[in-house]
Structure 1
Amino acid sequence: MRIVTLNANGIRSANNKGLANWMNSLRGWDVFCLQEMKANVEDVPEELLRPKKSHGHFHPAEKKGYAGTALWSKQKPVNVIKEFGVGEFDREGRYLEADFGHVAVVSLYLPSGAAGPERQASKDRFLVEFPKHLRALRKRGKEVVICGDFNIAHKEIDLKNYKSNKKNSGFLPHEREWLTHVFDEIGFVDVFRTLDQRAEQYTWWSNRGNAYANNVGWRLDYQIATPGIAATAKKAQIYLEEKFSDHAPLIIDYDFAL
């Protein structure tokens, strides 16, 4: 099973940069998760409604041109869930789950606090509320893969300039501790890091200061999974050959049947 996740920073913008063509040419993907749609369903480009004859699912934000998630799957899900029960974030389209019976795959978009104190406060509320749902997912007794932009770099290895970012959103101590709690206490696994422990493996770069050209980046995009399916992960790749947004796609292959 191949799962791909990408923050598109606007599905229409990403498509103008070749997203649909890449999705149609990429071999073997079973589930493709996307965050930051910034579009209503009626505004999704036709070629991205069902690429490679997949089943497309969309959860746009109520606010036009903001946030939102999407998920495509080769196999039709048993159920599609578009909320985790907290209105503030459900209205922003931040959660989209495809349940395939024995395994569930989630496209998730955490708030960013970079725009200022008000947005950081929203992000902090998310960090308080979402673990309740994570624990509920664990109690279901099925395998779960959560894909998305977490807007948090977990450890110093996960961003270039960690010393100068310790007081900045995305690398604040309580945000990093939250991820540690998700991994060590709730029991999800950071799948990429089980396969690749190298430094300078980033998925997001600022549009300022030639950050991309100089690889001054952050690892903000994750696939976190329950231990059973995480143990089957065989290969991870951050796709850099084309650039669809300020984030790069994260591709992970699992020895697990959808």
Structure 2
Amino acid sequence: MKVISLNVNGIKQAAERGFFDWMVRQNPDVVCLQDIQVDERSLNDSVFFPPGFNTYFFDSMEDPNTAGVAIYCKGMPKAIMTGMGFPECDFEGRYIQADFENVSIGSFLTPHGSNHETTLQEHKYRFMEGLKNHLIKTRRKRREFIFCGTANVARSPIDVSSWFVNQRNSGFLPEERKWINEIFNELEYIDAFRQVNKQDKQYTWWPDYERAWKLDEGGRLDYQITTPKLKHLIQGGSVYKGQRFADHAPLIMEYNID
């Protein structure tokens, strides 16, 4: 099973940059998108609904031009679930899940924080706490899961450029790194990409200007997080940098799952 996840920073912009043509050529089984920034009803062009894919969206109820997530999949899901049961997620369109025969795959979007706006950082922390509680509940279920999306947190020094300076910035604050490492340590979830790739500078996000992209100054803010039993079914992973569809890059993972 090939699973691709990407924060598109606006699905219409990504389409204009050729994302869907690229996606179809990749022949994935499941594609999880974040930050689609659109009301599904406004997607009238067939480019957003490529043949052979079942398509599901979860828009923000507060402002459809912000946040939002989507799942594209070759196989027909047994069920689609939206939300995680807390306001910062459910009202803002930050989680959608497709249940298949052998695995459930979700697309999640953590809010941006801020070094200057306390309310934005507090909003991010509330979402992070809600997501962690959801992951705790998920560990009690008799199903396997892959959670794909933007955590907006770099896990360790090898996951962010200028790590020492960035310890003072949202996205690499000590509290944020503690949270994400609790997910992988105490809760025993698997960082799928790091399971197969230990190299540094494997970034998935760069500031939206050419200098950072050219110098490769960014952070690994996007993840595929699996339940422990899937650990040995992870076959490969890569960050695609051949084209820029957004300020994030596609994360491509291969699993030995039918």
Q: TM-score, normalised by structure 1?
A: 0.96
Assess if the C-alpha contact under 8 Å between 2:102 and 2:257 holds in 1: no
**Superposition deviation, residue 43 in structure 1:** 2.1
Give the structure 2 partner of residue 77 of structure 1.
Answer: 77
Residues 62-121 of structure 1: per-residue CA shift (max 9 Å, x gap): 213100000011111111111110023211100001011431000000011037221101
Assess if the C-alpha contact under 8 Å between 1:32 and 1:72 holds in 2: yes
Assess if the C-alpha contact under 8 Å between 1:79 and 1:100 holds in 2: yes
Aligned residues: 256
**Superposition deviation, residue 255 in structure 1:** 0.9
Q: Distance in 2 between matches of 1:108 and 1:48?
A: 23
CA separation of 1:125 and 1:57: change in aligned 2, threshold 3 A: same
Q: Distance in 1 between matches of 2:46 and 2:4?
A: 18
Assess if the C-alpha contact under 8 Å between 1:20 and 1:47 holds in 2: no
Residues 155-185 of structure 1: per-residue CA shift (max 9 Å, x gap): 0000011011111100010110001110111
Q: Which moved more, 1:41-50 or 1:118-127?
A: 41-50
Give the structure 1 partner of residue 155 of structure 2.
Answer: 154
Give the structure 1 partner of residue 185 of structure 2.
Answer: 184
Counterpart of 2:137, as a letter, is A
CA separation of 1:101 and 1:92: change in aligned 2, threshold 3 A: same
Q: Distance in 1 between matches of 2:191 and 2:124?
A: 20
Give the structure 2 partner of residue 233 of structure 1.
Answer: 234
Give the structure 2 partner of residue 163 of structure 1.
Answer: 164
Q: Is residue 21 from structure 1 mapped to residue 10 from structure 2 by the alignment?
A: no
Q: Distance in 2 between matches of 1:47 and 1:209?
A: 31
Structure 1, unmatched stretches of 5+, are: none
Q: 3-state DSSP class of the match of 1:213?
A: helix
Give the structure 2 partner of residue 94 of structure 1.
Answer: 94
**Superposition deviation, residue 207 in structure 1:** 1.8
Q: 3-state DSSP class of the match of 2:213?
A: coil
Residues 202-230 of structure 1: per-residue CA shift (max 9 Å, x gap): 00000246000100010001001012223
CA separation of 1:52 and 1:195: change in aligned 2, threshold 3 A: farther
Give the structure 1 partner of residue 5 of structure 2.
Answer: 5
Q: 3-state DSSP class of the match of 2:119?
A: helix
Q: Distance in 1 between matches of 2:117 and 2:156?
A: 22
Q: Which moved more, 1:147-156 or 1:179-188?
A: 179-188
CA separation of 1:208 and 1:242: change in aligned 2, threshold 3 A: closer
Pairwise CA RMSD: 1.3
CA separation of 1:162 and 1:45: change in aligned 2, threshold 3 A: farther
Q: Distance in 2 between matches of 1:37 and 1:212?
A: 22
Correspondences of 1:117-136 after superposition (within 5 Å)? 117-136=118-137
Q: TM-score, normalised by structure 2?
A: 0.96
Residues 227-252 of structure 1: per-residue CA shift (max 9 Å, x gap): 22232111111001111000000000
Q: Is residue 31 from structure 1 mapped to residue 33 from structure 2 by the alignment?
A: no
Structure 2, unmatched stretches of 5+, are: none
Q: 3-state DSSP class of the match of 2:248?
A: coil
Q: Distance in 1 between matches of 2:34 and 2:65?
A: 12
Q: Distance in 2 between matches of 1:81 and 1:252?
A: 22
